[in-house]
Amino acid sequence: MNAPATVKPEDIRAARTRIAGKVLRTPMVEDPQLGALLGVPVFLKLEHRQTTGAFKLRGATNALLSLTPAQRARGVVTASTGNHGRALAQAARSEGVRAVVCLSRLVPANKVAAVRALGAEVRIVGDSQDEAMQEVARAVRDEGLSEIAPFDDAAVIAGQGTLGFEIIEDCPEAHTLLVPLSGGGLAAGVALALKASNPDARIVGISMARGAAMAASLTAGHPVQVPELPTLADSLGGGIGLANRFTYPMCKALLDQVVLLDEAEIAAGIRHIHKVTGDAVEGAAAVGVAALIAGKIIPEGPTVALLTGANIDAALHAQIMSGALPQEVLA
């Protein structure tokens, strides 16, 4: 395992300056219904309205702009098909940098098309995510491309952390922050920003019960692998890397609690957010609100739920709104 490493609050401040004007400053609204239910003020940070439909544009943009001019001239590479892949493609296009996204043959055609539509070069390699990752390593070694990892990267964590400073500005009295938790780049960054201003702030990471790698790792005391299962919170799937350097030690140090949710609870969160904001959000974005509705978080002071992404299939969202759940997440 590599040595544990960390990010400092000043890295997040520098990221904020670097990405200013290149990402949206998203709004925060109060949720009076949840406030009445819980007896504490509840606020929603509407980051699912970020360009590309997710906060990952912050980390990808900061990482891209932190490269040297020579590195930028050669280009960047990733294997992510999800919100990070989209964000990196978008950031690279804005900066005129070449982006290569390595995908396995199993990635559905619509996802391939979405990455291409953002101007990235798609390489289809092998039959698994592992093989796509090997192609990333090869491109770094043989072509001099710079890998921008989805979460275990100092510049990515600092970029995501800029959300923490926006939350403090919009709600200085914030005491409890509810953060969706997957690889932990988001949670590490925002927790660091918030605790730098208010050491007493409480940070709760929230994942789906089906395949929560960071939660299992924190329980085990070291990074572990968990089986990946279908979930409404698909953006929270995937491992944290057995050679994790940044996000495991940072989450261990900074998270006060981790909460796990079942699929019906996540669906209730999606429905509530639609009722309050009129927006369709993806399952990963709904977990904070879902945890509050499910009574899994003891209310303590003004509470902010971070809504992270809007990239949900329209037919799936309609199905959830009708009260039904897809068969594969019920198995």
Ligand X SMILES: *Cc1c(COP(=O)(O)O)cnc(C)c1O
User: Can residue 181 be called a binding residue for ligand X (CB under 6 A)?
Assistant: yes
Strands of 212-298 (E only): list them.
Answer: 257-261
User: Can residue 149 be called a binding residue for ligand X (CB under 6 A)?
Assistant: no
Residue 41 or 81 with smaller CB distance to ligand X = 81
Q: Whose CA is closest to 285, among 86, 75, 44, 69?
A: 44
Minimum CB separation from ligand X for residue 144, in Å?
27
What CA–CA distance (Å, rounded) separates 79 from 173?
39
Contacts by residues 96-104 (CB-CB < 8 Å, ≥ 24 positions apart): 97/64, 97/72, 98/74, 98/145, 99/75, 100/75, 100/76, 100/139, 100/145, 101/77, 102/77, 102/78, 102/132, 102/133, 102/135, 102/136, 102/139, 103/79, 103/132, 104/128, 104/129, 104/131, 104/132
Give the interface segment with ligand X, choosing from 33-41, 180-188, 192-200, 262-270 (CB under 6 A): 180-188
User: Can residue 284 be called a binding residue for ligand X (CB under 6 A)?
Assistant: yes
DSSP secondary structure, 118-129, as one string: TTPEEEE-SSSH
User: Can residue 60 be called a binding residue for ligand X (CB under 6 A)?
Assistant: no
Q: How many residues line the site for ligand X (CB under 6 A)?
A: 19
User: Can residue 183 be called a binding residue for ligand X (CB under 6 A)?
Assistant: yes
Give the interface segment with ligand X, choosing from 2-10, 32-40, 253-261, 281-289 (CB under 6 A): 281-289
What CA–CA distance (Å, rounded) separates 26 from 63?
20
User: Can residue 285 be called a binding residue for ligand X (CB under 6 A)?
Assistant: yes
User: Can residue 56 be called a binding residue for ligand X (CB under 6 A)?
Assistant: yes
Give the interface segment with ligand X, choosing from 67-75, 95-103, 215-223, 280-288 (CB under 6 A): 280-288
Minimum CB separation from ligand X for residue 223, in Å?
14
Residue 41 or 285 with smaller CB distance to ligand X = 285
Site residues (CB under 6 A) for ligand X? Answer: 54, 56, 83, 151, 180-187, 235-236, 282, 284-285, 308-309
